DNA sequence: TTTGTCTCTTGATCTGGATCAAGAAATCAT
DNA sequence: ATGATTTCTTGATCCAGATCAAGAGACAAA
């Protein structure tokens, strides 16, 4: 950890407060000391498909792509995470099953990472941890619920609009082909939709 | 509760064992006495969009449709639950937000229902409850993860096949129009796909 | 059983978005 | 900077699946 360890720790604690509603300073300290600062260069893998997922990483900066490869060899981008989200295959991390996703840094990335052993000890350190974890998981669930609904009820253009309104910045930082895949359309279609939006 | 209360309780306990891996008989009894037996007639609402979701129901028998109405007035079927699943708007139940889904019985339905107050007491009754709950939630998450992926990587026909392999029985019990909506296609398309499969 | 109301199927047509192809921009490595 | 590689755009064409329309079954109520 570099010279601005204190700064980033303070930032991590801020995020934990915002995200989980933890405000007690003892609990905060307990949480944040179990997370280790870590960086990834562009292109580096944070997790590889098939491996077990033994770490949960809080994203401090950068963009990370979650993707899998289909039987026909097509790459499908399931999600792109960024600042203040978690880079983890949640299912694999919790259940111990092999990871479904590759997680690759699309830009230089700063993470706060906790391993599974320490993660499982969080409830000792933080009395209300189970409650925070439940809220965390239900938010993840809700994001997917929204995404399923968007595929049942919206056109490609509407899905684009919806996501663009939610996160404009990402379109300047991440190759559009990945965003297209994540939105369930081809790069050509996304390009045409974006052109149309300019008029 | 009717004459076969004991029978159904035993069944509930069996499901809890299968689903959560709870095997201790004290814990099992603790859980199952907090759930109340309840029936719904066909067409009856178990939950209505916009209301708060104060109950979590384990489905003992029957089929239930989760749906919402879009701004344009279209009904979107998000999910159809059945035996040994849960009929609940999970996000609303956990966070206290207004329900997003209508849940309507498609057939006569038997439920074991627990209210939020009792649910929040489960961790007192069952020491490992937090762990079981976590597994429960991650499975819900995983189902949605699969569904999002299916929309990013499969054709309508592949989605049908995938779901049909997972649950053939439901196609004999539930109006096809709802299954079509849930799979993200029109009733006409589903009808044609099914015809094609017969050849 | 009959009547009315849903639900499903089938055909005809249309269209959103995919695919294929090729050039233009942007980004990267040396 | 310069060439190589990757990414993005644009056009032409195609097709999966939507829409529209009309019968055919299925189911429910009296």
Q: Enumerate domains of chain B plus CATH numbers.
A: 5-153 (2.60.120.10)
Nucleotide nearest the Cα atom of A187 (by C1'): D8
- Count CB pairs under 8 A between chains A and B: 89
Alpha helices per DSSP H over B21-128: 25-34, 90-95, 116-125
Distance B174 CA to D10 C1' (A): 46
Å between A149 CA and nearest CA of chain B: 7
CA distances from A42 to A114, B12, B139 (A): 21, 51, 32
Q: Are strands A36-40 and B75-81 parallel, antiparallel or unpaired?
A: unpaired
Tell me which residues of chain A have a pLDDT lower than 50.
1-3
- The strand ranges marked E within A41-100 are 45-47, 55-61, 63-69, 75-82, 86-87
Residue with smallest Cα–C1' gap to C6? B175
Are A78 and B135 an interchain contact pair (Cβ–Cβ within 8 Å)? no
Which pLDDT value is given to residue B10? Answer: 78
> What's the rounded Cα separation, in Å, for the pair B123 and B38?
23
Are B94 and A134 an interchain contact pair (Cβ–Cβ within 8 Å)? yes
Kindly state the DSSP code that residue B43 receives in the 8-state scheme.
T
DSSP H or E run through B100 = none
Residues of B with CB under 8 A from a CB of A: 68, 70, 74, 76-78, 90-91, 94-95, 100, 123, 130, 133-135, 137-138, 140-142, 144-145, 147-149, 151-153, 181-182, 184
> What's the rounded Cα separation, in Å, for the pair A141 and B137?
8
Q: Which residues of B touch A76 (CB under 8 A)?
A: 149, 152-153
Which pLDDT value is given to residue B3? Answer: 39
Please, which positions of strand D sit below 7 A from a protein CB?
Answer: 7-12, 16-21
Selected for mutation to probe chain A from B153, B158, B163, B180 (highest A CB count within 10 Å) is B153
Distance A106 CA to D6 C1' (A): 14
Which pLDDT value is given to residue A7? Answer: 55
Residues 6 or more apart in contact with residue B56 via CB below 8 angstroms: B86, B88, B93, B113, B114, B116, B119
Tokens 């095997």 belong to B23
Which pLDDT value is given to residue A1? Answer: 41
Å between B140 CA and nearest CA of chain A: 7
Nearest Cα residue in chain B from A144? B144
Distance A177 CA to D8 C1' (A): 9
pLDDT in tens, chain B (199 residues): 443 555 567 777 887 788 777 777 777 787 888 999 999 999 999 999 999 999 999 999 999 999 999 988 899 999 999 998 999 999 999 999 999 999 999 999 999 999 999 999 988 888 888 888 999 999 999 999 999 999 999 999 999 999 999 999 999 999 999 999 999 999 999 999 999 998 7
């Amino acid at each position: 950890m570099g010279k601005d360890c204190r700064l980033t720790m303070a930032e991590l604690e801020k995020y934990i407060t915002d995200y989980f509603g933890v405000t007690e300073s003892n609990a905060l300290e307990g949480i944040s000391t179990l997370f280790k600062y870590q960086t990834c260069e562009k292109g580096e893998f944070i997790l590889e498909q098939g491996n077990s997922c033994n770490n949960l990483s809080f994203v401090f900066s950068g963009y990370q792509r979650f993707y899998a490869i289909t039987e026909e060899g097509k790459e499908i981008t399931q999600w792109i995470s960024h600042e203040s989200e978690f880079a983890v295959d949640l299912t694999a991390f919790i259940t111990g099953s092999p990871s479904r996703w590759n997680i690759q840094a699309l830009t230089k990335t700063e993470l706060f990472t906790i391993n599974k052993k320490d993660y499982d000890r969080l409830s000792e350190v933080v009395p209300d941890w189970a409650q925070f974890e439940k809220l965390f998981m239900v938010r993840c669930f809700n994001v997917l619920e929204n995404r399923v609904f968007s595929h049942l009820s919206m056109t490609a253009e509407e899905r684009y609009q919806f996501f663009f309104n939610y996160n404009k910045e990402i379109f300047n930082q991440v190759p559009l082909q990945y965003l297209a895949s994540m939105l369930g359309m081809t790069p050509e279609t996304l390009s045409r939709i974006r052109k149309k939006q300019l008029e």
